[in-house]
A and B are shown apart, each in its own frame.
Chain A
Amino acid sequence: EAQVTQNPRYLITVTGKKLTVTCSQNMNHEYMSWYRQDPGLGLRQIYYSMNVEVTDKGDVPEGYKVSRKEKRNFPLILESPSPNQTSLYFCASRPQASSNQPQHFGDGTRLSIL
């Protein structure tokens, strides 16, 4: 089954404790991205990757890091989480960066930073 898998689905942690949210897709997609969803703000892009070893900032990158060492994986790293990063996070992928093909989203990771 074609899917984007995020882990964990839920996490409660404390300020400053480094965490990683993993994302994996099994569709051989080149383009992957991370979004955060907040009430009244919709989905905002954090980082994106056009292919392996090619990543760039989205609209709200502060406080986040990413890496793309393999095509299928695109982890989101919070080196020193803060309460304003409490949010619902989604990883997404699509076949190519230059296409308008549908983005496939994971089921989300709800992060609470205390």
Chain B
Amino acid sequence: QQQVKQSPQSLIVQKGGISIINCAYENTAFDYFPWYQQFPGKGPALLIAIRPDVSEKKEGRFTISFNKSAKQFSLHIMDSQPGDSATYFCAASWPTGFQKLVFGTGTRLLVSP
């Protein structure tokens, strides 16, 4: 059973457009929501993260929007660039004796020139 549901599975966006990836969860014990970015042939790397006490976090062109009541969070990539083409994973963690991290199924983003 997938604890974090991610959509869409793949996404094509034109250069300069906005990319939006959505995630939903059920476990209200989650207390940390990171996004990881993965380029081909590389491991995932932390992109941006948010805690549930804020509704939005922005770092450059990347923004996380968090809706605690709906148990949803999303990644927005403004002014998308071809260099943003990668696979993006949402994730969530909660304290169970240690911080256990679970991942969504991933979104393959292609930004066309």
Spell out A's residues near B (CB within 8 Å): 4, 31, 35, 40-45, 48, 50, 59, 90, 92, 97-100, 102-103, 105-108
Contact = CB atoms under 8 A, between A and B. Distances in A.
A103 B102 CA distance: 12
Contacts of B46: 102-103
Nearest to B99: A100
B89 interface: yes
A105 B105 contact: no
Contacts of B101: 45, 103
Q: Which of A41, A90, A100 has the most CB of B within 10 A?
A: A100
A31 B101 CA distance: 12
B9 A108 contact: no
Interface string B69-106: 00000000000000000000100010100111111111
B87 to A, nearest CB: 9
B105 A107 contact: no
B113 interface: no
A99 B101 CA distance: 11
A98 B106 contact: no
B89 A42 contact: yes
Given A42-B104, A105-B44, A100 B49 contact: yes
A10 B89 CA distance: 23
A107 B98 contact: no
B90 to A, nearest CB: 9
Given A40-B105, A92-B43, A103-B46, 19 more contacts: A4-B43, A40-B9, A42-B105, A43-B89, A45-B102, A59-B102, A97-B99, A98-B95, A99-B99, A100-B34, A100-B49, A100-B99, A102-B34, A102-B46, A102-B49, A103-B44, A105-B45, A107-B42, A108-B41
A97 B97 CA distance: 8
Q: Which of A45, A59, A103 has the most CB of B within 10 A?
A: A103
